[in-house]
Structure 1
Amino acid sequence: MSASLFDIAPALAAYLSILAAVLGACMGSFMNCLAWRLVAGESVLRGRSHCTACGAQLTAIDLIPIVSWFALRGRCRHCKGKISPRYVVVEIVMAAVFLSIALEYGFTVQALAYAVLACILCGVTLVDADTYTIPNGFVIAGLATWAATVWFMSVPSQGFGPGTIFAAQLGEGFLAVLADGVAGGVLLGGGILAFSLLFEQVTKRDSLGGGDVKLLFVAGLFLGLPLGLFSLLLACFIGLAIAFVLKLSGEPSDSDVHGESDDGSGELESFRTRAIPFGPAIAAATMLTLLIGSPCMEWYVGLLM
């Protein structure tokens, strides 16, 4: 992998680690706001942040990531309405993700690309969980991020990573990463699209929609072929876990009344009782693969040799 924070002076590494975590928390707060506005139909470019209950404008003291939620005890300063713990959870998770990316990839163009991807996947998770849709804007942002940064990437010196399987033919520069990304995107996106169409043809029931397929294509671009397949398998397990939790929640079923969304994003149907959004599972699996996929693949290959 790229030089990590462990390769520099401890004091500087500690400072940069804190900086990465703070930036992650801030981006988590931003994505919370962006996702809520998309779901509520508000403009994402205009207007001040406000309480979703009473509409009061929020000031800086209300918007400090993580700190404000705990300081206000999860309630609005103005109307005392409850603020969902989802906001602070997202901020904490994004802080951890940004820190993990910095520790693994250092402060490089590759780390920047993965940090932007983390923000995109965060937005996908929040919107898809609420609306069962994946806005095309997130997909376009993912494509643009990969297209702008793939030229600066190279094959990792050890382990599995984007470009590994093409390094022998194309060298260890960006060409191998580019080829692996295209192969991963086509296999994940195209393969799942073909499987989904076949499943629907045979069972006469909805499966994955276009939004999920497009998101898998983007994930394949960033991960490449081997890690993309690992991520897809992991996403299936995470999706089943989400379905199991929703099953235990005892909420009313909506699988009989939902249809495919306007933008083509579909849902998985769990235990024939309720639908679940698959976007959060894809997002979680993609980030986990970027962070721990290489050692997991090495361990698996080691079992076969």
Structure 2
Amino acid sequence: MTVALLLAGLGLILGSFIGLVADRLPKGEDVVLAPSRCDACGARLKPWNLIPVVSWVVQRGRAADCGARLSPRLPLIELAAAGVGLWAGLHHAGEPWPALATAVLGWQLLLIAVVDAENFWLPDILTWPLAITGLVAAWLLAPETLGGRVIGVAAGFVLLWLVGWLYAVVRRRQGLGGGDPFLFGAAGAWVGWIGLPSVLLYGSLAGLSLVLARVALRRPVDMADRLPFGTFLTAGVWLTWLYGPLGL
């Protein structure tokens, strides 16, 4: 339980960074050196305005300087990152290193999911590191699986690239974003080639669930609607990593 709480606390802190990167990266802004500023008035934020979740609650969801209403986006991301750490620690109770690896995976997936959901964009600067950390985790925790993970990277990329290419040929329009094959290849680095079908199935079910939810809420649904498939794939990677490929 101690490891789970530590990872949850670390997740709160990293959640702030995840939210910042997800906001600045699509805009081409510096994500490391530029100071945090109020989105409404541009005032530089003070250290006590940056305490994860607490600052937003104490300020009642309003900016400290100008009083503008703040979106709950950042505290929700921070709580999600804390939840990832807690989940990882509880899942690997008594195994701190596997728990840390799982938390690292979850935090990367959370960042990728947010960026894709908000921008329909999967940049290489996020998907390639996911593949690298997956291979490093395999090398450190289960070196006997490293070969299958390397095959998974290649198989994941080629499979989804072919799916996107065939869709474009048949429908004469793009059906997958250019970053989706790279994300699927990175998934293979974590779950191996044998876990890729489960990732795809989980991701497809997640996307279908969203469509059904929109239908149930009587919101318009069109075949041409764009969906952030990368966001759904991240859910598939997470579940497959934690609970193994379906049927095995």
Taking the TM superposition and a 5 Å limit, the aligned residue runs for 1:185-264 are 185-245=153-213, 248=217, 250=219
Taking the TM superposition and a 5 Å limit, the aligned residue runs for 1:165-204 are 174-175=143-144, 177-204=145-172
CA deviation string 1:109-138 (max 9, x = no partner): x33333222222222122222221111101
Q: How many Å separate the matches in 2 of 1:76 and 1:122?
A: 25
2:226 counterpart SS class: strand
Q: How many Å separate the matches in 2 of 1:74 and 1:53?
A: 13
Cα displacement (A) at 1:197: 1.0
Residue in 1 aligned with 2:128?
140
Cα displacement (A) at 1:246: 5.6
**What TM-score does the superposition give when structure 1 sets the normalisation length?**
0.73
Percent of aligned positions with the same letter in both sequences? 32
Q: How many Å separate the matches in 2 of 1:94 and 1:286?
A: 16
Q: How many Å separate the matches in 2 of 1:37 and 1:210?
A: 21
Cα displacement (A) at 1:245: 4.5
Unaligned regions of 5+ residues in structure 1, if any? 1-12, 155-173, 252-269
CA deviation string 1:248-296 (max 9, x = no partner): 5858xxxxxxxxxxxxxxxxxx7314212111111122112222x23x7
For the 8 Å contact 1:243–1:276, the answer to whether it is kept is no
For the 8 Å contact 1:66–1:91, the answer to whether it is kept is yes
Q: How many Å separate the matches in 2 of 1:199 and 1:39?
A: 27
Residue in 2 aligned with 1:38?
25
Q: Which amino acid aligns with 2:173?
A: R
1:278 aligned onto 2:246: no
For the 8 Å contact 1:39–1:130, the answer to whether it is kept is no
Q: How many Å separate the matches in 2 of 1:204 and 1:49?
A: 44
Residue in 2 aligned with 1:264?
none
Q: State which of 135, 139, 146 in structure 2 corresponds to 1:151.
A: 139
Residue in 2 aligned with 1:60?
47
Q: State which of 66, 78, 85 in structure 2 corresponds to 1:98.
A: 85
For the 8 Å contact 1:113–1:149, the answer to whether it is kept is yes
Residue in 2 aligned with 1:18?
5
Equivalent pairs counted in the alignment come to 245
1:130 counterpart SS class: helix
Q: Relative to structure 1, is the Cα distance of residues 95 and 59 closer, same or farther in structure 2, using a 3 angstrom cutoff? A: same
Q: How many Å separate the matches in 2 of 1:225 and 1:142?
A: 16
Unaligned regions of 5+ residues in structure 2, if any? none
Q: Which amino acid aligns with 1:148?
A: V
Cα displacement (A) at 1:244: 4.3
Residue in 1 aligned with 2:96?
107
Cα root mean square deviation, aligned? 2.2
Q: How many Å separate the matches in 1 of 2:65 and 2:17?
A: 21
Q: Which has the larger radius of gyration?
A: 1
Q: How many Å separate the matches in 2 of 1:56 and 1:243?
A: 40
CA deviation string 1:78-134 (max 9, x = no partner): 1122221121111111111111112223311x3333322222222212222222111
- Considering fraction of residues, name the structure with more helix: 2
CA deviation string 1:161-182 (max 9, x = no partner): xxxxxxxxxxxxx13x112212
Q: Which amino acid aligns with 1:26?
A: I
Q: Relative to structure 1, is the Cα distance of residues 245 and 62 closer, same or farther in structure 2, using a 3 angstrom cutoff? A: farther
